[in-house]
Structures are given as structure tokens and as C-alpha cells.
Amino acid sequence: MAKYRIVHTEFWNDAKVMEEMTPEDKYFFLYILTNTQVTQVGIYPITKKLIGFEMGYSTESVNALFERFINFHKLMTYNEKTRELAIKNWGKFNFIRGGKPVMDCVKKELAEVKDQSLIKYVGEQVANDTIRALYESYYVTQDDTSSSRGQKEKEKEKEKEKEKEKEKQHVAVVDFYQSNIGMLSPYMSESLMQWTNDLNSDLVIEAIKRALKQQKKWNYAEGILRHWANQNISNLEQVSAADSEFKHKREGGPSASNQPSYDGYNFDKEFTPNF
């Protein structure tokens, strides 16, 4: 029974073929696509000696062509031990039609491939989903699939935990604000949520406490939060360290005690609250 291999007419218009290939390259490319050893899966055993004989080339010429197509054009690979050749984009331009006869042929020929790394080399370019799955059965293991699914599930769980933590922090801030200042307007609720997301609930609550201590309102607390954000302060430990540093500098300067302060910070240059 005669075998047929498809070569698209666009072959001659392909930019790589037109601009990068010599006449010998084109001749060789057509040969590796259509010689009598070519299989349905694009991986087949063939010797360089046979190629040289059928093409009328010397061994040196065949080796040079292999070098160009493997390392320069990157269109094929070859296992010197098993003498198997694999065409990279075979699955992109073949397998236009599927069906049981093609599937059966693919299964049979894949089972005969000695170097199974070649199956992945060709399989990653197969366009037909059903046929690509046959290739993948040789290199995508159940463990890989389970590991991938497990990783995705863990990532989803982490995202859920983050969302829960954000919600918990926002509730804590809202409760503290309403217990100590008053009912929230939609604008204030959004502002509190934004600051909680940008910093955290501990810092927002601490800023509100400091505002209350000075008998000030939310804009005073927001000024403190803005200052902390500008200083890249992200937790209460850093707040305490910044307080200590400011106190040390204030006690060390002869005129520092006369400088206006804003709950432990000098806001003369950095922030002036709008009361």
C-alpha cells in the first residue's frame, strides 16, 4: 500500500525557507519530510549512510546538513545511538484529520520509538488535542498531573486565606472606629479598607488611638498612616523603633524641644494636618 506525506504549497512561501535556506537545505528538508522511512508520528529510524545514498551526497555533506538543521534551523533532532530522526513541527502541519485509523497508527508507531524524549520534542507542537494526548501519555505522568493540580489547589487555598485575613482585619478596624469615633459613612469605610489593605489593621488601629489621645479626628490618624507609609513602616515593632529614634534625636538637639511634634514625630516639614 502506497504511503503519502503532505507538503503544503506554503512551504515555498515560508520566510525561513525563502530567506535562510540554501538550495541544498530545501532539497534536504523535502527529503526528511517525504522519504520512505517517514512515519505518521514524525519520528523514524534512518541512517546517515542511507540518506547520503538516496540523496547522492557524501557523508561529510550529510553531517553538515544535520548540523544546520539541528543547530541553526532548529527543525529536527537526531539520536546517534538509536539512529532516530524527529521533525519538530511535524504535528503542527500534519494530523489535519483524526479518526480511529490515524489514532491506531499513531499509538502503534509511538510504541516503537526507542528514544522517548523524541516523543516530547514532537508532541509539544502537535495541534490536534486528541492526538497530542497520545504523545503526552509518554511524558506527562500521573504524578506530574497530580502535583500540578495539588499546587494549584494550594495556591487557591492561600488566596482564600489571604482574603479571609483581609476581611478579618477590616472588620476589626471598623469595629474599633465605630466604638471609639462613631458610625461610618461609605466614604470612610472605603478609606479604612484601603489603609488596612495598604498597611494592616494593627497600624490603622494604632493611628486611630494616637489621634484619640490628641483628641483629634480621622484626618489626624490618616496623617500618621501616610507618614508611616512614606517611611516604609509595616508593623508595630517598626513604629516603636521609629518612636525611640525620634525621641533620641529630640533629646539630643538643643532646639528640638521647641519644634512642633505630631504624636512623637516632627511634622513641620513632612505633614501639616488640616483641622
The whole-angstrom distance between residue 137's C-alpha and the CA centroid of its chain comes to 24
- How far apart (Å, rounded) are the C-alpha atoms in residues 23 and 208? 79
Top pLDDT among 230 and 146 is at 230
Q: How far is CA 83 from CA 37, 40, 53, 64, 106, in A?
A: 12, 17, 16, 16, 20
Region 222-231: mean pLDDT is 92
pLDDT bin (cut points 50, 70, 90) of residue 142 is: low
Residue ranges of domains in the chain, CATH in brackets: 9-140 (no CATH), 166-258 (1.10.10.630)
Q: Percentages helix, strand, coil for the chain, rounded to the nearest 5?
A: 65, 5, 35
Region 110-117: mean pLDDT is 94
> What pLDDT does residue 164 have?
87
Query: For 222, phi and psi rounded to 5 degrees?
Result: -65, -35
pLDDT bin (cut points 50, 70, 90) of residue 195 is: very high
Nearest Cα neighbor of 110 from 89, 137, 83 is: 137
Fill in the amino acid letter for 74: K
List alpha helices for 137-255, DSSP H: 142-180, 186-198, 201-213, 218-230, 236-252
C-beta separation of 210 from 221 below 8 A: yes
pLDDT digits (tens, 9 = 90+) for 143-186: 555 566 667 788 888 888 888 888 899 899 999 998 888 888 88
Query: For 230, phi and psi rounded to 5 degrees?
Result: -65, -30
- How far apart (Å, rounded) are the C-alpha atoms in residues 90 and 44? 12
Top pLDDT among 256 and 250 is at 250
Grid cell for residue 179: 466604638
Region 198-207: mean pLDDT is 92
- How far apart (Å, rounded) are the C-alpha atoms in residues 86 and 77? 5
Choice among 118-132, 158-172, 251-265 with the minimum mean pLDDT: 251-265
- Please count the helices (runs of H) and the strands (runs of E) in the chain: 13, 3
Q: DSSP code of 45?
A: E
Region 28-55: mean pLDDT is 95
* 68, pLDDT greater than 60: yes
- Cα torsion for 201, 205, 211, 216, to the nearest 10°? 90
